[in-house]
Amino acid sequence: MADRVAEDLADLTLDELRLALAPRIADEAIFDGWSDTALVAVAEREGVDPDVAKLAFEGGAMQMIESWIDAIDAAMIVELPREKLAEMKIRERIRTLVQFRLDQALGREEALRRALAVMALPQNVSRSLKTGWRSADLMWRLAGDTATDYNHYTKRTILAGIYSATLAVFVEDTSEDKAETRAFLDRRIEGVMKFEKAKAKWLGGEREHFDLVRFLGRLRYPAK
């Protein structure tokens, strides 16, 4: 069986290998951090040439972490497609999507803590923000969002902030079944829903149709 797994991994492209190895590196990062030591340990255990594994992750710790996030994104697409979420209310869709991502880090809190520390380094902040935006964008698209005006940007910015804050609570949460994290997430989502209702009431039907809105919409989806 182990030989078969090694053969399968040997047939993967570098991009595919990153997605396959990243969650396993996360398990190893609990002990050795996001390091070459963790990478080589996983490669040897899975029957992958360590030199090939190093080539796949030549970007170092940040690339390992980004690949772990990409692997979670890919799993989320499979487990929570739009049609599965369609019958839920919007707040439940978002809560379900964020919770799915948190569940992928259960038992890997130390790996996540170390990942957040790496992502917070000055040289990595820009890449971290882009990675957070991509995940927030994916969650909104799976939730069925089709906004092309300024709401497209504000929704993703707000969700990225909620997700980031919830991760910080999650890594320190020792309550049973992560009850404190769940309560924190619910409060943040409820706050956003109230804000959106108040904003819609204040803006009214016509105030959203600024020239700036049309301009941003065209930037996002330019006319053919």
Q: What is the mean pLDDT of the chain?
A: 88
Tokens 């978002």 correspond to 94
φ/ψ of 208, rounded to 5, equals: -80, -10
HSE-up of 74 (CA within 13 Å, CB side)? 13
Q: Give residue 201's pLDDT band: very low, low, confident or very high (50, 70, 90).
A: low
Q: Give residue 215's pLDDT band: very low, low, confident or very high (50, 70, 90).
A: very low
Tokens of 22: 């990243």
Q: Give residue 217's pLDDT band: very low, low, confident or very high (50, 70, 90).
A: low
What confidence score (pLDDT) does residue 6 get?
A: 53
Tokens of 156: 């993703």
Tokens of 194: 């109230």
Q: Give residue 200's pLDDT band: very low, low, confident or very high (50, 70, 90).
A: low
What residue ranges in 114-160 does DSSP mark as E strands? none
CA 102/CA 196 separation, integer angstroms: 25
What confidence score (pLDDT) does residue 221 get?
A: 53
Residue 124 and residue 62 in contact, taking contact as beta carbons nearer than 8 Å? yes
Mean pLDDT of 151-160: 90
> Phi-psi bin for 107: left (phi > 0), alpha (psi -120 to 50), beta?
left
Helix (H) or strand (E) holding 60: none
Residue 182 has pLDDT above 90, yes or no: yes
Amino acid at 5: V
> Phi-psi bin for 20: left (phi > 0), alpha (psi -120 to 50), beta?
alpha
What are the residue ranges of CATH 1.10.357 in the chain? 81-224
CA 61/CA 116 separation, integer angstroms: 11
DSSP 58-126: TTTHHHHHHHHHHHHHHHHHHHS-HHHHTTS-HHHHHHHHHHHHHHTTTT-HHHHHHHHHHHTSGGGHH
What CATH number matches the domain at 81-224, 1.10.10, 3.40.50, 3.10.50, 1.10.357? Answer: 1.10.357
Largest CA distance in the chain: 64
Mean pLDDT of 177-186: 96
Q: How confident is the model over 87-122, as pLDDT tens digits? A: 999 999 999 999 999 999 999 999 999 999 999 999
What confidence score (pLDDT) does residue 191 get?
A: 83
